[in-house]
């Protein structure tokens, strides 16, 4: 994870703690196509996984997180010269958060328990990643050959919260897409022309960050992943590098915002990799419209929030 997309001082970091797993069977836990129950097709070579199975033989995210949390708590005690604490568990969060006292700035590091599975991506991803026009057919094929990542994430829609669901994660692919983001190979390289795609993402994240600070309660449902997804969809709608010339940053930023506001109005923002999974639900219509109004106010008044 690179802190380069943080605008203000980077003080929050994500680290994926990746555990490779052998043959896993994925069963959808709901109709989003994002959440799964995991079972072993046959007894795993790695015997230590057996103690993390629940009574139905499902791999329990909760049990694994608990164990990892204990290991980290013990390890943190051994640090000399630096004060590190493990913060209290946030309900439903897939992360174990470390606070690092580091004058003049405290740093928080989220450690995210991630399984890496060598297998084809599940059917719910078939029509996702529509990057043919933008990054090309070869890039799409290469991405889809990469391992599948699953993070320990509680599916809140479950009637009984058992802590045994896992959510697909594509952050490794998203990182590659941001690194090689151009329609042409040389976009933003030293000898190539510069674009403003990353600049747009930074501004979108910053705008949401600032609005969330102003309206924490009304906007608690939103996170940077919403605007990141909106940017990816924008890159597909405007696939050419000439659509993102560096000098046009303000125009491009407003275009992305316009698209994001349409999504908020309709309460419809499809997950970039799992198109049937809507990241904005209709039951949150009120907060979707609230955010849309706040963004509109910023747009019409030349972004007072950036001047503060």
Per-residue model confidence as pLDDT tens digits over 238-296:
999 999 999 999 999 999 999 999 999 999 999 999 999 999 988 999 999 999 999 99
**Which pLDDT score, from 0 to 100, does residue 83 have?**
85
What six digits make up the tokens of 267? 């309460």
Backbone phi, psi, residue 109, to 5°: -120, 120
**Which pLDDT score, from 0 to 100, does residue 160 have?**
61
- Model confidence pTM above 0.85: yes
CA angle 204, 35, 175 (to 5 degrees): 40
**Which pLDDT score, from 0 to 100, does residue 103 have?**
67
Cα–Cα nearest to 105, from 211, 3, 195, 215? 3
Length of the chain: 308
Residue position matching structure tokens 């057919």: 137
Tell whether domain 191-307 is in CATH 1.10.1410.40: yes
Domain boundary assignment for the chain: 7-180, 191-307
**Alpha-carbon separation of residue 222 from 140, 180, 209, 275 (angstroms):** 28, 27, 9, 19
Give Cα 262 to chain centroid, integer Å: 21
**Which pLDDT score, from 0 to 100, does residue 3 have?**
40
Whether the Cβ atoms of residue 137 and residue 171 lie closer than 8 Å to each other = no
Rounded CA separation 228/76 (Å): 33
**Which pLDDT score, from 0 to 100, does residue 45 have?**
74
CATH of 7-180, one of 3.30.460.90, 3.40.50.620, 3.30.360.10, 3.40.50.1580: 3.30.460.90
Give the residues of the chain that fall short of pLDDT 70.
1-10, 91-92, 103, 158-162, 308
């Amino acid at each position: 994870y690179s802190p380069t997309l943080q605008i203000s001082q980077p003080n929050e970091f994500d680290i994926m703690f990746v555990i490779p797993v052998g043959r896993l069977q994925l069963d959808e836990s709901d109709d989003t196509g994002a959440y799964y129950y995991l079972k072993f097709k046959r007894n795993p070579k790695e015997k230590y996984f057996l103690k993390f199975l629940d009574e139905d033989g499902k791999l329990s995210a909760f049990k694994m997180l608990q164990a990892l949390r204990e290991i980290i708590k013990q390890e943190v005690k051994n640090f000399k010269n630096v004060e590190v604490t493990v913060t209290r568990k946030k309900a439903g969060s897939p992360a174990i958060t470390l606070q690092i006292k580091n004058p003049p700035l405290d740093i928080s590091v989220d450690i995210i328990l991630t399984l890496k599975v060598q297998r084809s991506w599940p059917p719910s991803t078939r029509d996702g990643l529509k990057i043919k026009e933008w990054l090309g057919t070869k890039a799409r094929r290469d991405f889809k050959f990469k391992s599948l990542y699953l993070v320990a994430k509680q599916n809140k829609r479950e009637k009984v919260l058992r802590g045994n669901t896992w959510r697909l994660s594509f952050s490794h692919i998203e990182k590659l897409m941001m690194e090689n983001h151009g329609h042409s190979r040389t976009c933003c390289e030293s000898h190539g022309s510069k674009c403003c795609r990353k600049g747009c993402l930074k501004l979108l994240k910053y705008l949401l960050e600032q609005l969330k600070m102003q309206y924490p309660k009304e906007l608690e449902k939103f996170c940077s992943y919403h605007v990141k997804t909106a940017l990816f969809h924008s890159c597909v709608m405007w696939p050419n590098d000439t659509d993102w010339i560096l000098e046009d940053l303000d125009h491009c930023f407003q275009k992305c915002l316009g698209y994001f506001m349409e999504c908020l109005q309709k309460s419809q923002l499809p997950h970039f990799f799992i198109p049937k999974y809507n990241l904005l639900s209709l039951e949150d219509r009120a907060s979707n419209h609230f955010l849309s109004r706040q963004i509109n106010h910023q747009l019409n008044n030349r972004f007072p929030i950036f001047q503060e």
